[in-house]
Amino acid sequence: MRVKLTVWRQAGPDATGGFKDYELADVSPDMSFLEMLDTLNELLIAGGEEPVVFDHDCREGICGSCGMVIDGVPHGPQRGTATCQLHMRKYTDGAHITIEPFRAAAFPINKDLSVDRAAFDRIVEAGGYITAPTGAAPDANLIPVPKAVAETAMDAAQCIGCGACVAACPNGAAQLFTSAKLAHLNLLPQGQAERWDRTIDMVETMERYFGSCTNYRECEAACPKEISVDFIALMNKDYVRAQLKQRRLAGQVFP
């Protein structure tokens, strides 16, 4: 296959970036999208041009490192698929593909296609955990979890933290990411003690870094794990309830 690429090049966080065109003559349909970029980089190095910087690691769709906007869509055209799992067989011979970094005020560009997603860590640090210091745990089967609850918590917990939801959102909002972590922990019995504090702390930290949600639902469409916007509704509900709770009595009034 032949492909024409238009790729965002930017030398550093403060440098001015711009698009640059490249052509690849010999792309195999079995290549992954990142292997196609590897091939581009090998050619660039041979020609004396610095290779395109992009984040990647596991190449199995689970680490959340990779992510770029491909023809206007974070992670590209295939639903429920991270960039590393997208394969060139999804393109036709002669395709023209535009590649840019995730664009969001909260994700400054490091270089080329690599962005800084540290703001996600700030949200988790604010409360995205269950306080259970090592050694204090009771026997695991003392905490029965209804299967349906465990499954829904797992649906939320499988978020890979890639940031596609933010990049897809016209407001640069992080509601899907934050609500997925909140739903994972707030649904489980183990997460009840900190439920209301966690919700307020994470939502308010999120608001410091990211835009606001106005229900475009682009996030869900872009999510490589197809995480549902239902979790945003749950987060909003918990946030309102958390504001009303007398937290010292929270244990009495659940759910």
Partner 1 sequence: MTLDARVPSGSIAEKWTNHKFSVKLVNPANKRKFRIVVVGTGLAGASAAATLAELGYGVTVVSFHDTPRRAHSIAAQGGINAAKNYPNDGDSVYRLFYDTVKGGDFRSREANVHRLAEVSVDIIDQCTAQGVPFAREYGGMLDNRSFGGAQVSRTFYARGQTGQQLLLGAYQALARQIGLGNVELHNRIEMLELVVKDGRAAGIVCRDLITGEVFSLSAHAVVLATGGYGNVFYLSTNAKLSNVTAAWRAHKQGAFFANPCYTQIHPTCIPASDEFQSKLTLMSESLRNDGRIWIPQQADDARPPSQIPESDRDYYLERRYPAFGNLVPRDIASRAAKREVDAGRGVGPLKNGVYLDFADAIERLGKHVVEERYGNLFQIYERIADDDPYVAPMRIYPAVHYAMGGLWVDYNLMSNLPGLYVLGEANFSDHGANRLGASALMQGLADGYFVLPYTIGDYLAPMLGQALVDTDDPAFRSAESAVAESTKRLLSIKGRRTVDDIHRELGKVLWDNCGMARSEATLTKALAEIPAIRDEFWKNVRVLGDDASLNQSLEKAGRVADFLEFAELLCLDARHRNESCGGHFREEYQSDDGEATRDDEHFSYVAAWEFAGVGREPALHKEELVFEEVHLATRSYK
Residue 56 interacting with partner 1 (CB under 8 A): yes
Out of 9, 17, 35, 103, the residue judged to bind partner 1 by CB under 8 A: 35
| Residues 224-243 interacting with partner 1 (rule: CB under 8 A) | none
Out of 138, 246, 249, 253, the residue judged to bind partner 1 by CB under 8 A: 138
Scanning 1-9, 53-61, 92-100, 228-236 for contacts with partner 1 by CB under 8 A, the matching segment is 53-61
Scanning 16-24, 168-176, 186-194, 238-246 for contacts with partner 1 by CB under 8 A, the matching segment is 186-194
Is residue 97 within 8 A of residue 5, CB to CB? The reply is yes
Out of 16, 18, 25, 48, the residue judged to bind partner 1 by CB under 8 A: 48
Residue 9 interacting with partner 1 (CB under 8 A): no
Residue 77 interacting with partner 1 (CB under 8 A): no
CA angle 217, 106, 83 (to 5 degrees): 60
Out of 91, 120, 210, 231, the residue judged to bind partner 1 by CB under 8 A: 120
Residue 134 interacting with partner 1 (CB under 8 A): yes
Smallest separation, CB 44 to partner 1 (Å): 8
Burial class (CB in 10 A: 0-12, 13-18, 19+), 207: middle
Residue 6 interacting with partner 1 (CB under 8 A): no
Residue 45 is encoded by which pair of tokens?
């190095």
Out of 133, 252, 253, 255, the residue judged to bind partner 1 by CB under 8 A: 133
Residue 73 interacting with partner 1 (CB under 8 A): no
Out of 72, 77, 144, 251, the residue judged to bind partner 1 by CB under 8 A: 144
What is the chain's length?
Answer: 255
Residue 85 is encoded by which pair of tokens?
């799992």
Long-range contacts of 77-85 (CB under 8 A, 24+ apart): 79/221, 79/226, 80/223, 80/224, 80/225, 80/226, 81/224, 82/160, 82/162, 82/224, 83/33, 83/34, 83/56, 84/32, 84/33, 84/34, 84/56, 84/58, 84/59, 84/60, 85/32, 85/60, 85/61, 85/224
CB of 58 or CB of 233, closer to partner 1? 58
CB of 35 or CB of 216, closer to partner 1? 35
| 204: nearest Cα among 146, 141, 125, 133 | 125
